[in-house]
Structure 1
Amino acid sequence: MLVRFWGTRGSLPVALTAPSVRQKIVGALAAANGMRFDDADAIDRFVDELGFAAGATYGGATPCVELEVQGPSYIICDMGSGLRSFGLDSIRRNAEGHARAYNFFLSHLHWDHIMGFPFFTPAFDPEAQIRIHSAHPDAEQALRRQQEEISFPVPFDWLRADIAFVTMAEGQPIEVDGLVVEAKAQKHSHVSYGYRFTDRDGCITIYSTDSEHKPSDMEDEAAFIDFFRDADLVVCDTMYSLAESVSMKEDWGHSSNIVAIDLCHEAGAKRLALFHHEPTYEDEDIQRMHEESIRYEQLTRERSPLDVICAYDGLEVRI
């Protein structure tokens, strides 16, 4: 299984500003301090040494994650603004022989998780088949509503792909192209659902975003430990610090890096991807949270190590 991250921010898309780009360039030149580079490879190595926040960016597209598996269709979690880039890339792959079949799994219907669909080019392809899986019976209503004339110039009925909606039930697994998929309700406004994907080889990926975990509700936390059990990769909402999540942003429907690590440790998960980054965080803030998460994991580890990575737009993870 190959997991591709097309969008990793939460709430709304953000972009690097001119001052932010300038700051990265100034920082890189200051770090070079008169160094000479013989070729482009030497420059690449130097940029790697700068650290991710100084030499790259975590990106600003809202949630969209692809799971490449053995089946013929595309498997996509959420339709955030990152969906536009995925759609264009899938057209390239379709030209190389990939089936024009798309299976979506929606965590919930808030705008940052569906706003990419009006810009999803394959939806205009009459040869494309699109199946939208959700545990929300009002998923079709939400997607149609955002393309009403008051909000968008192209109505939903102008789309030419074969589009159908599939309503899932919590705790009742379904099979899609060899993947076994199970949905789990999460604490979030209008309810969010996490998904557990198990492929033919037994590889397990968890997609769990927009989920608030309360230390006071240990019964619910035990259920999530079971849901994350033995996962190869857990993509988890880590929008806030622990202090934020239990104080001024309590009941906002999001979680922290600390709680995610604790859950993954208890569940025996192998790898955690920090996800749904706060839109006000600069790259340096996200990198700092990642570094603190690695240290916390090391300090609290009791059994096998948990590999803590930080999702960014364009990241690929093979499991």
Structure 2
Amino acid sequence: MGMLVRFWGTRGSLPVAPRARAIEDKLVNALMRAQGRSFADEGEARGFVNQELRFGEGHTYGGATTCLEIEGADDSFFILDMGSGLRELGNDAFRRIAQQGRSRKYNFFMSHLHWDHIMGFPFFGPAFDPNAHIVIHSGHADCEAALRRQQEEISFPVAFDWLRAKIEFKVLSPGEPYNVDGIDVELMPQDHSHVSYAWKFRKNGKTFVFSTDAEHRMDDLEDKQAFETFFDRADLVVCDTMYSLAESITLKADWGHSSNVMAVNLCHGAGAKKLVLFHHEPTSSDADIDSLYDETVRYEALNRKDRTPLEIVCSYDSLELEV
């Protein structure tokens, strides 16, 4: 068995929700595209939505902030970051425990401690379960301080010490191999305020890399070599593609995020197999994200040369990918 990656939150910076007019615009567009057609049943109507509309026209990429899950560990939950998507994951974990008898151990792996990546933890139901065991792995020695601070009385009504789960913190060192419940784990520092960490997970010959909140510059050859080595022949790479290349080198330079172009370049250099566009800009509409995806696919094809094609996927809340 390999790994299954499930996306519970894919936005960056802060959670967003579509306004009423955005839903109206989607419905009007779908009706206009249908051109008065009638559908025999719900399945036929869904076929039209899924086959004839762009993803952003018939669906939404979602608005929850960073939270992913890996299925494939030895019974425990593997969770990457604690963005607002963590609330829904926690509710689903209760369902799976009741239906499947799953373990109540939760391994967290933190990219960094900015608010959009920790804000879901106070709403994580299993943290209130006295039979739960939560292990938080991080490259940051101040991880516990960050989580406690956001639950101080001035910010939140439930204190960290009121949580009933057994909670422990483990600080891991970059470049050192670890094995956590049957999955090999490694982390690497990234250029971001207060440092961010990329994570690599390996099991049964498959490699998954999670690299968000990292700024990559076109002329930084040392950074390029380091990340091509970390991404080397990965089966799946989730990459920070918050900006276009133009944004990342002009208005938003030094903001701590990267572009779709740099993600493709690094994956090409590393010989990675599949790239997932991630950490979507909160001001981007579904149509904007559709356009970024199209632009990325075109750029990859034009710059592929004699390489094996790099598969590109645009992440959305509820996406599942096999590794």
Q: Report the TM-score range of the alignment, normalised by the length of the smaller protein.
A: over 0.9
Number of equivalenced pairs: 318
Matched AA of 1:31? R
CA distance in 2, matches of 1:62, 1:251: 21
Q: CA RMSD in A?
A: 0.6
Task: Please give the alpha-carbon distance, in whole angstroms, between the structure 2 residues aligned to 1:7 and 1:281.
Answer: 15
1:104-138 per-residue CA deviation (whole Å, 9 max, x = no partner) reads: 00000000000000000000001000000000000
The 5 A counterparts of 1:2-17 are 2-17=4-19
CA distance in 1: counterparts of 2:102 and 2:269, whole angstroms? 39
For 2:222 and 2:273, locate their aligned partners in 1 and report how far apart those are by CA, in whole Å.
Answer: 23
Q: Does residue 98 of structure 1 match 2:97?
A: no
Instruction: Select the residue among 64, 69, 75 that pairs with 1:66.
Output: 69
SS at match of 1:196: strand
Please name the residue that 1:171 is paired with. 175
Q: How far apart in 1 are the matches of 2:73 and 2:164?
A: 27
Write the letter of the residue equivalent to 1:114: I
TM-fit CA distance, 1:168: 0.6
**SS state of the match for residue 275, structure 2?**
strand
Q: Which amino acid aligns with 1:237?
A: D
SS in 2 for 1:273: strand
Q: Partner of 2:260 in structure 1? A: 257
Say whether residues 1:51 and 2:46 are aligned partners.
Answer: no
Taking the aligned partners of 1:282 and 1:70, their CA distance within structure 2 comes to 35
Q: Counterpart in 2 of 1:203?
A: 206
Question: 2:85 matched to 1:82?
Answer: yes
Distance, in Å, in 2 between the alignment partners of 1:190 and 1:219 is 20
Unmatched 5+ residue regions in structure 2? none
C-alpha separation in 2, matches of 1:118 and 1:181: 26
Q: Deviations over 1:112-166 (max 9, x none)?
A: 0000000000000010000000000000000000000000000000000010000
- Counterpart for residue 318 of structure 1: 322
Give the whole-Å Cα distance in 1 for the aligned partners of 2:212 and 2:277: 10
Please give the alpha-carbon distance, in whole angstroms, between the structure 1 residues aligned to 2:19 and 2:198. 33
Instruction: Tell me which amino acid in the other structure corresponds to 1:139.
Output: C
2:237 is the alignment partner of 1:226? no
CA deviation profile, 1:184-243 (whole Å, cap 9, x unmatched): 0000000000001111x1110000000000122101210000000010100000000000
Q: Deviations over 1:233-261 (max 9, x none)?
A: 00000000000001110000000000000
Superposed CA offset, 1:2-42 (max 9, x none): 00000000000000110000000000011111101111111
Runs of 5+ consecutive residues of structure 1 not aligned to the other structure = none
Show the counterpart of 2:34. 32
Pairwise CA distance, 1:70: 4.0
For 1:40 and 1:214, how far apart are their aligned partners in 2?
A: 48
1:73-122 alpha-carbon deviations (Å, 9 max, x no partner): 11111000000010000000111211001000000000000000000000
User: Are 2:204 and 1:187 equivalent residues in the alignment?
Assistant: no
